[in-house]
Amino acid sequence: MSTPGDDELRTAVRDARDANPDLGALKLLAAIKDAKGWTLSEKRFRKALADVGGTAAGGGAAAKPSAKKKKGKKSRRVGDHLEPETHLDSTLDIATIAPKVNARMFNDARGKGLVAAEELQMGEMIWREDPFVACASPALHSILASNQMCSHCLMAWDHLPRTIAACPKCPASFCSRLCLQRAQESSHHPLLCEGTNPAAAPLNEFVQGREWRSLGIVARILARFLTSRAWEGAEAAKAFENRVFSFARVNMEERERDNPSFRAQEGTMTALWGMGHQLLLSALHPQTEVEQARLTKILRKGGRQVTPLTDEEEQRWFSYQAFLELLGMVNLNLEDSGGLYALHAHLNHSCEPNVQVRNLPKGWTPPDSLPAPLPEQLQRGTHKLTLLARNTIPAGDELTISYVPLDMPRNERQQALRLGYGFWCDCARCEREKTPTKPAKEDPEAKRRKEEAVESIVAGVDELAVDDQL
Ligand SMILES: [Zn+2]
Ligand SMILES: [Zn+2]
Ligand SMILES: [Zn+2]
């Protein structure tokens, strides 16, 4: 394997493109690598392709800006931070999922969010939601491997449920046939089940070994795009695409560049992303004909003609840039307990949130009367989210959750939100705590007097308590 010089590369790219006018960018790259035996990154190849004034077939090399713009606001740098790209998804039936909630597009900085359509009371269940893409936390891998939990909904069991259902192709087990069925669109996709698609094994191993959950979720998204397109048709694929691209997203690499420690890790991170992308391609969009034929055979199971991806589709879903965008999107929206949730992902952050997100056990029922206290920490729940009002929420108020633990001091919250989500929080609590009132240096005599006073109050309380018992 050798690495070409810039001139040599440009000549090869120009020749290959002219000789293969029908090939998309990634296939062109593969053809050049095959023919020359070069080590060549997609980024360098695309630069060379742009240098020779070119696009691959169908304009695949240069993303079509018009197609992107339609999706909504592009992530952009404002001051020292990135504003994610986001838009409202008209196919999400909010009126049915959460009748007392409206979605709204705020300004560019805040993006979209949810507001109360009518007054909500403390303890009120605002909605419940299953994940759009389910993926267990790496912390659960050993419990899942020992078959003590449903691989999809994460319901733990002491005794094997009578309704247990297993994947027909591998040892994964589920609490019911419904969970198995749902898993196949999400947490246990056939294209990522090694029994069905053995080419996914190295990817799965990498995801587990590195505990790289967001890569696992990107894989599930790409797998579902392929099967919705092949098994459900163009309309379903379009709806799926709209949903995916409605989540707020930033390019993972651009986001990491904001992190002061990135420079020291740049080489490692870039190598990891490259590896993750390559493994995704091997599993779901292989570049050799033999492997592609194997995948097409699995996809043909739906009984439809499986057409190859167009260059635009290839660019939008499988290019390295698409990978970095999907990775950034997943990291921005991941809900730790279960994966990606379409409506939950609309909620903005506040350090004094009015909504609580819970994973409650299957048997939990909403309170009969309101207001009601929030449920206590019961036993482990499933991956279904329940969203509860923490207090009375007047109609029109924005619904908020906290992205960070509420007991973090202001400074740590600010840093965590900046690094994890790309914004400086300016919520009412952060404003209040901006200039913490430092306790004035107390003179020792005054301190002693105060301590004595406190002691006497405590002693008095004790005496009262004793009197009560008499
Ligand atoms: Zn289940
Ligand atoms: Zn399986
Ligand atoms: Zn705040």
Which tens digit of pLDDT belongs to each residue from 268-309? Answer: 999 999 999 999 999 999 999 999 999 999 999 767 788 999
> What 3-state class would DSSP assign to 150?
coil
Centre of ligand 2 to C-alpha 191, Å, is: 9
Q: How buried is residue 139: exposed, middle or buried, by Cβ count under 10 Å (0-12/13-18/19+)?
A: exposed
Question: What pLDDT sits at residue 377?
Answer: 79
Ligand positioned closest to the Cα atom of 131: 1
Residues 288 and 409 in one domain: no
Ligand 1 centroid – CA 150 distance (Å)? 5
Q: Find where tokens 């029994």 sit.
A: 195
Cα of 402 from ligand 1 centre, angstroms: 27
Taking the CA of 430 as reference, the closest ligand is: 3
Same domain, 300 and 379: no
Residue 19 lies in a domain: yes
| Assigned domain for 95 exists | yes
Structurally, the chain folds into a number of domains equal to 3
Q: Average pLDDT, whole number, for the chain? A: 85
Q: What's the farthest any 2 CA atoms get from each other in the chain? A: 102
Q: Report the share of the chain in percent with pLDDT over 70.
A: 84
Q: What share of the chain is helix, strand, coil (3-state, %, to 5)?
A: 45, 10, 40
Q: Which ligand is nearest to the CA of 200?
A: 2
pLDDT band for 467, please (50, 70, 90 cuts).
very low
CA of residue 379 to ligand 1 center, whole Å: 16
Residue with tokens 């949130």: 353
Q: What is the pLDDT of residue 61?
A: 30
CATH number of 375's domain: 2.170.270.10
Centroid of ligand 2 to alpha carbon of 193 (angstroms): 4
- 332 and 348 share one domain: no
CA of 14 to the centre of ligand 1 (A): 53
The domain of 388 spans 344-432
Distance from residue 191's CA to the centre of ligand 1 (Å): 20
In this structure, are 306 and 162 located in the same domain? yes
Ligand with an atom nearest the CA of residue 418: 3
Average pLDDT for residues 175-201, to the nearest whole number? Answer: 96
Computed from CA positions of residues 79, 81, 82, 84, in that sequence, does the dihedral angle turn out positive or negative? Answer: negative
The arithmetic mean of pLDDT across residues 127-133, rounded, is 97
Is 287 found in the same domain as 425?
A: no
For residue 36, pLDDT over 80 is answered with yes
User: Both tokens of residue 109?
Assistant: 């900085």
Residue 41 CB contacts under 8 Å (≥ 6 apart), including other chains: 274, 320
Ligand 3 centroid from CA 343, angstroms: 22
Region 48-54 average pLDDT: 68
Q: 29 and 55 share a domain? A: yes
290 and 207 in a common domain: yes
Q: Are residues 223 and 262 in the same domain?
A: yes
pLDDT band at 81 (very low <50, low <70, confident <90, very high): low
**What's the CA-to-centroid distance between 430 and ligand 3, angstroms?**
4
pLDDT at 275 (0 to 100): 98
- Check residue 109 and give its pLDDT: 78
417 alpha carbon, closest ligand: 3
Protein residues placing their CB within 5 Å of the ion ligand 2 = 167, 169-170, 172, 193, 195
pTM: 0.77
Q: What was the pLDDT predicted at 368?
A: 95
Count how many Cα atoms sit within 13 Å of the Cα of residue 145 in the half-sphere of its side chain: 7
